[in-house]
Structure 1
Amino acid sequence: MDGYERRTVRDTVRDEARTVEWAVVGSGVGPLLLAATAEGLVNVVFHADEAVRDRALTRLVERLGGVEPVADASGRLAEPIRMLDAYFAGEPRDVRPALDWSLTSGFNRQVLRELATGVPYGTLVGYGELAARVGQPGAAQAVGAAMGANPLPVVVPCHRVVESDGGLGGFGGGLETKRRLLELEGVLPEPLF
């Protein structure tokens, strides 16, 4: 996997109402933190070394209502991990595990759901076009903000959203990560200048 040793660390975070299982896995763009509830994958975090992982888990626990960590993983991440392994191995398909949308709402959720279902593997969409698809044609900047707040990058493919002039735009995982994902899918745009 692109020189990264596969390493999985698992723990469980739970309270009476909510359990979140997490794992750090190797990928073609470095270690990813994956977290899932009983509803589905809820969070993906890039560059998940120990410090990033710890900060991300603390934030996740706060955002999901102060749940406490406990040991024992249930295996609910097995399917998302298998799908991501296949994706990074170059199998041309979308990664579509069950998703938990708890970490997003309103306009952002609307945009991210459209992105997840309406922009398949190997295609690109502009910020303005995505805004128009959700009925807000003048909201390209708001779409950019939604991409920056995407709690499920790679799986909800914000890397496929680019500027209308062919520029990459921004990316929470860094532009080099965005380039690598687009290269993997064979759709790295060439800038006009």
Structure 2
Amino acid sequence: MSGVGPLYILSSKRGICGLFFGHRVEPSTLPKDNSRDRFLNQAEKELGEYFEGDREIFEVAIDARGSQFQRLVWRQLSAIPFGETRGYGEIAEKVENPKAVRAVGTANGANPVSIIVPCHRVIGKDGSLTGFGGGLEIKKKLLQHEGVLLEAI
């Protein structure tokens, strides 16, 4: 389904609450309820469209749980357009706390719904690829998929 290996998607009654890269998950730690629901079906469909090049914006409901600051950062991540990147400092300014660059990085790293909330679109101030829960190689693949030029990175 994806160009980055297996993905594990978790949902709650309110939306998608987790999206994890298969190589980073021990399957035995995931919930045993394999029932399908509308959020899982929609997320799977939208992710398939994303990887086929037919979707740039996700519409599936998200139930990402975190602190107020984390949720504020995640909303800013969701506002980064497909094919574009932002620096951690830019996100800090958007949340009206320009000195919170490290806190933005921490919130970015705590994003439980990678790809759907596009934390991969955040790069270092110098344009370098920085930490990503799926690993830097997957981050690079996602950005290349979106047409981001990475020669300088």
TM-score, normalised relative to structure 1: 0.73
For residue 90 of structure 1, what is the aligned residue in structure 2?
A: 53
Divergent runs of 4+, >6 A: none
Shift of 1:54: 2.3
Query: Hey, what's the Cα distance between the residues in 2 that align with 1:71 and 1:171?
Result: 27
Question: Gapped runs of 5+ residues in structure 2?
Answer: none
Decide which moves more: 91-100 or 132-141.
Answer: 91-100
For residue 40 of structure 1, what is the aligned residue in structure 2?
A: 15
For residue 170 of structure 1, what is the aligned residue in structure 2?
A: 131
Query: Hey, what's the Cα distance between the residues in 1 that align with 2:34 and 2:147?
Result: 40
Question: Gapped runs of 5+ residues in structure 1?
Answer: 1-25, 59-68
Shift of 1:74: 3.4
Aligned partners of 1:33 and 1:48 also within 8 Å? no
Query: Hey, what's the Cα distance between the residues in 1 that align with 2:22 and 2:35?
Result: 24
Query: Hey, what's the Cα distance between the residues in 2 that align with 1:183 and 1:167?
Result: 14
Query: Hey, what's the Cα distance between the residues in 1 that align with 2:146 and 2:134?
Result: 17
Q: Relative to 1, partners in 2 of residues 1:79 and 1:139: Cα closer, same or farther, differing over 3 Å?
A: same
Query: Hey, what's the Cα distance between the residues in 2 that align with 1:125 and 1:151?
Result: 19
Query: Hey, what's the Cα distance between the residues in 2 that align with 1:136 and 1:180?
Result: 30
Query: Hey, what's the Cα distance between the residues in 1 that align with 2:74 and 2:51?
Result: 21
What one-letter code is carried by the residue in structure 1 that aligns with 2:68? G
- Tell me how many residue pairs correspond in the alignment: 153
Q: Relative to 1, partners in 2 of residues 1:75 and 1:162: Cα closer, same or farther, differing over 3 Å?
A: same
What one-letter code is carried by the residue in structure 1 that aligns with 2:28? D
* Aligned mate of 2:143, from 165, 182, 190: 182
RMSD: 1.9
Matches within 5 A, 1:26-175: 26-47=1-22, 52-55=26-29, 57=30, 69-70=32-33, 72-102=35-65, 104-116=66-78, 118-175=79-136
What one-letter code is carried by the residue in structure 2 that aligns with 1:31? P
The alignment partner of 1:98 has SS state of coil
Query: Hey, what's the Cα distance between the residues in 2 that align with 1:71 and 1:95?
Result: 23
Structure with a larger share of its residues in strand: 1
Structure with a larger share of its residues in helix: 2
| Rg comparison, structure with higher value | 1
Give the fraction of aligned pairs with identical amino acids, expressed as a percent. 42
Aligned partners of 1:127 and 1:162 also within 8 Å? yes
Structure with bigger RCO (C-alpha 8 Å, 6+ apart) = 2
Shift of 1:101: 2.3
